[in-house]
Every structure is written in C-alpha cells, then in structure tokens.
C-alpha cells in the first residue's frame, strides 16, 4: 500500500474522533513542549555563563598563589602567598606567547567623594589590564605608562561607583579619597555586568599597581596575576611557558611542586557549566516522563480502536489485505498522531520559552537540532507504543473478526 494512501487512511480515522484524538495527543504535546522549554532554559543558562566567562577577558590566563603543605596536608589553593610584582615583570619581559600581563592587587576600601561614601573594591593593575579584560573606557581615559611609573594618584571608576557617588554628573576630573589618599578620577569604565557567580564587575575602582602597593596595600605580595595569550590556540603553550618562567623565578627544583596555580577561561567555563549541564539533563529527563505517559495513552487508545474496528479489520483481511498491511495501517495511525502532537508541542515549547524569557528575564536558547530530536522522539514514541496494538490487529483471524459483535 502506498505511503500517501496509508497516511490518508490514518488521518481519516484520527479525525473521526477529534476530541478523543486531542486528549490522546495531550501527553505528547505537553511532553514535547516541556522538553523544549527545559532544554531551552538550560542552554540559555549555559550560553549566558559562556558569555560571562568571555566577558572576563580575551584569551585570559589567571595565575594565583599555590597551595601550602603543612605536615603532609595541603592547606588549599591560595593559602601560601608567593606572587610578587617581580613575578609579573618576569612574565612581561620573558614571555613570547603572552600579549599582556597585569598584577592584580585587591584592596577593599571605603571611598569618599561626590555625594557621600561607598565601600567598593579598589584594584591595583597595570596598563595591560584594560586589553586583557577587553574593558573599554566610556568617558575620560585609562591611565598610561607614565602614570604607572610616577605612581600617579589617578583612578578609573566603574559604573556602580558612578551611580552611588556621582549619580547626576560626569565624575571625570573629580576628586575622591581612598583610605585618606586623594585620587583624581581620569576615566569611567564601560559597563560589564555581573559575573557567573553573581558579583558586580562594575563595582570597582582601578588604580596603577605601584600606587596601590605603596599607598594602600603596604605589602609586597599580590593575590593574582592576569595574563592574555596572543591567540586562543596558544593558550596551552602559554600556560606551560608561564609555569616555566615562574618556577625559574621562584627557584624551584625539578622535584618540587608548583607553588602557584595557572588556569584559563576553558577551565573556568568547564567548572561553571558542569552543574548547568547536569541540571539541564535532569530537567529534560523529568520532562520526558510526560512523553512516556503520552505514549502509554496512545497505546491504550489504539487498543480500544482495534477492538472497535474488529469487523472492519476482518473485512479487509477477507478481501485480500495482508496482515502486514493491517499492521502498517495501525502503526501509521499511531505515528501520525504522535508527529502531529510533536509539532503542536514544539509550537507550545517555543511559545512557553518566549513567555518565560519575557516574564523572568531568563536566557532561553532553542537549537534547531533539539527541535529535530524532539520531533523524531515523538515519532519513535508512536512506533514503540503503536507496535503492539498494530500487531494485535494484524494477528486477528478473519472469520472470528467478521463474527465479532
């Protein structure tokens, strides 16, 4: 029997009982729609995290102090501070694969100026920090090498600091006091937004690292060095080069472990997205239960249909139809029902994802491959749950079927 003829017969049979068909397809519709929405939310979260990771900088490499070991027990990363400005200078001078190196001296401080005071994070950085973080200046200028060499008391402030200290004015040229040290604001940073962990990147003040170390921090050790590889493909080689330079700078023997930690954006992204991927799979698995329930409903209705149409099946078999023709007819009915339900479910999923994004602001992303998988899965449900009723119909004895009341 031709495929077009089979689909026509299946469609006619389905349309005879519109309400029953709709209720039968409801499980498939809800199941496919739920899977689409859950995966869209999960993928949207992953894309948002990746965007935030990329927002941290260009080909970023993060160097932090390594773990101290006492009594054979590791004390954890960052417990032994052994990074200095000299380390950053060594990386800057000796590296051939890094496009920029900046120490990061973090000094939480109460800042006075403008309309009042605000507690924020003051970061001492080099001029390379701006291209490393791909962070532009919205107004004014960034400090330059002459400001760094002269330990100039100049500052570039983030948007959150502007909103809290200078809400209705341009702060460029204004004065602020950080730990009673006067600084001139020479620039305002472009907005960056939140990190993947939820911290506000715009709540920051950037000053030259030498100024931060001598005027504010008062110690020679630094908690972090940021670097940028010249190309994304060179990040692994750049990390190895960083390790070699720092091991030589720290005079570590071959048998001694690193007293520092080197990570890149891929490491940060993998760590951040690991939990999101698990949650996406879990949500999709939960939503898939609706498809299972919908498949059971279709099998139940198809069994009822076989019982109702026993005489019809008997007539078909009596006038020469083969058992395989009957099996294929009922199987196609189940597949058509599931595919129609899948198409409606995809539309429901798209609509629900759009509404969810509008109401909550959550990022949602629906990949075309996911739509194809959902549609294919709904067809597979029709084949799996429709096969038993179809086989039962094909196995009927024509004589007994004709006498069935």
Burial of 88 (0-12, 13-18, 19+ CB in 10 A): buried
Length of the chain: 405
Directed axis angle between helix 3-16 and helix 18-55, to 10°? 110
Distance CA(53)–CA(55), nearest Å, equals: 5
- Closest of 156, 158, 157, 165 to residue 114, by C-alpha: 165
Q: Is 144 helix (H, G, I), strand (E, B) or coil?
A: coil
The per-residue pLDDT for range 209-258, each reduced to its tens digit, is 999 988 887 767 788 999 999 888 888 899 999 999 999 988 888 888 88
Indicate the range of 69-73, 81-85, 150-154, 291-295 predicted with least confidence: 69-73
Say if residue 79's pLDDT is above 50. no
Q: Specify the higher pLDDT residue, 98 or 58.
A: 98
Q: How far is CA 62 from CA 100, 138, 224, 266, in A?
A: 12, 25, 7, 11
Enumerate the domain spans of the chain: 3-52+272-402, 81-258
Q: Output the CA angle 207-213-217, nearest 5 degrees.
A: 100
5-14 own/partner pairs: CB under 8 Å, 24+ apart: 6/328, 6/329, 6/332, 7/332, 7/336, 9/329, 9/332, 9/333, 10/329, 10/332, 10/333, 10/335, 10/336, 11/336, 13/305, 13/333, 14/333, 14/336, 14/337, 14/340
pLDDT in the model for residue 273: 58
- Return the DSSP state at 200: B
Burial of 189 (0-12, 13-18, 19+ CB in 10 A): buried
**What tokens were used for 179?**
């730990």
**94-111: string of b/e by CB count within 10 Å (b at 16+)?**
ebebbbbbbbbbebebeb
Burial of 93 (0-12, 13-18, 19+ CB in 10 A): exposed
Distance CA(52)–CA(388), nearest Å, equals: 50
Say if residue 75's pLDDT is above 50. no
Say if residue 77's pLDDT is above 60. no
Sign for the pseudo-dihedral over CA of 147, 150, 152, 157: positive
CB of 209 closer than 8 Å to CB of 103: yes
The per-residue pLDDT for range 12-26, each reduced to its tens digit, is 766 777 777 787 788
Kindly report the number of other CB atoms within 10 A of residue 328's CB atom: 17
Q: Is the pTM for the entire model greater than 0.85?
A: no
Distance CA(288)–CA(293), nearest Å, equals: 9
Confidence of residue 57 (pLDDT cuts 50, 70, 90): low
Report the range out of 81-95, 117-131, 287-301, 364-378 with the highest average pLDDT.
117-131
Q: List 121's β-bridge partners, or say none.
A: 108, 204
């Amino acid at each position: 029997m031709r495929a077009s003829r089979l689909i026509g017969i299946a469609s006619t049979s389905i349309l005879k009982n519109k309400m029953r068909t709709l209720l039968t397809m409801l499980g498939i519709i809800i199941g496919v729609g739920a899977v689409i929405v859950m995966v869209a939310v999960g993928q949207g979260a992953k894309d948002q995290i990746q965007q935030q990771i990329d927002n941290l900088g260009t080909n970023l490499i993060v160097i932090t102090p390594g773990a101290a070991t006492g009594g054979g027990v590791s004390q954890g990363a960052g417990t032994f501070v052994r990074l200095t400005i000299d380390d950053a200078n060594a990386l800057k001078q000796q590296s051939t694969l890094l496009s920029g190196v900046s120490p990061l001296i973090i000094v939480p401080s109460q800042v006075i100026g403008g309309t009042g005071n605000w507690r924020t994070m003051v970061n001492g950085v080099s001029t390379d920090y701006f291209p490393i973080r791909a962070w532009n200046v919205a107004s004014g200028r960034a400090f330059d090498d002459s400001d760094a060499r002269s330990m100039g008391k100049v500052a570039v402030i983030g948007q959150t600091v502007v909103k809290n200290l200078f809400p209705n004015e341009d702060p460029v040229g204004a004065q602020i006091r950080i730990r009673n040290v006067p600084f001139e604001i020479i620039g305002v940073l472009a907005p960056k937004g939140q990190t993947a962990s939820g911290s506000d990147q715009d709540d920051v003040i950037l000053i030259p690292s030498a100024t931060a170390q001598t005027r504010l921090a008062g110690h020679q050790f630094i908690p972090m060095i940021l670097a940028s590889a010249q190309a994304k493909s060179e990040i692994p080689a750049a990390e190895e080069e960083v390790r070699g330079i720092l091991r030589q700078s720290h005079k570590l023997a071959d048998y001694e472990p690193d007293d520092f930690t080197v990570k890149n954006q891929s490491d940060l992204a993998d760590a951040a997205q690991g939990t999101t991927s698990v949650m996406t799979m879990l949500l999709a698995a939960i939503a898939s239960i609706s498809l299972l329930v919908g498949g059971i409903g279709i099998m139940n209705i198809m069994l009822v249909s076989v019982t109702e149409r026993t005489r019809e099946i008997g007539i078909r078999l009596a006038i020469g139809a083969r058992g395989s023709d009957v099996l294929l007819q009922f199987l196609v009915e189940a597949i058509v029902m599931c595919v129609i339900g899948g198409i409606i479910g995809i539309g429901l999923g798209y609509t629900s994802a759009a509404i969810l994004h509008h109401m909550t602001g959550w990022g949602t992303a629906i990949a075309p491959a996911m739509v194809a998988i959902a549609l294919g899965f709904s067809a597979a449900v029709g084949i799996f749950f429709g096969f038993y009723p179809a086989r039962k119909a094909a196995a009927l004895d024509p004589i007994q079927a004709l006498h069935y009341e």
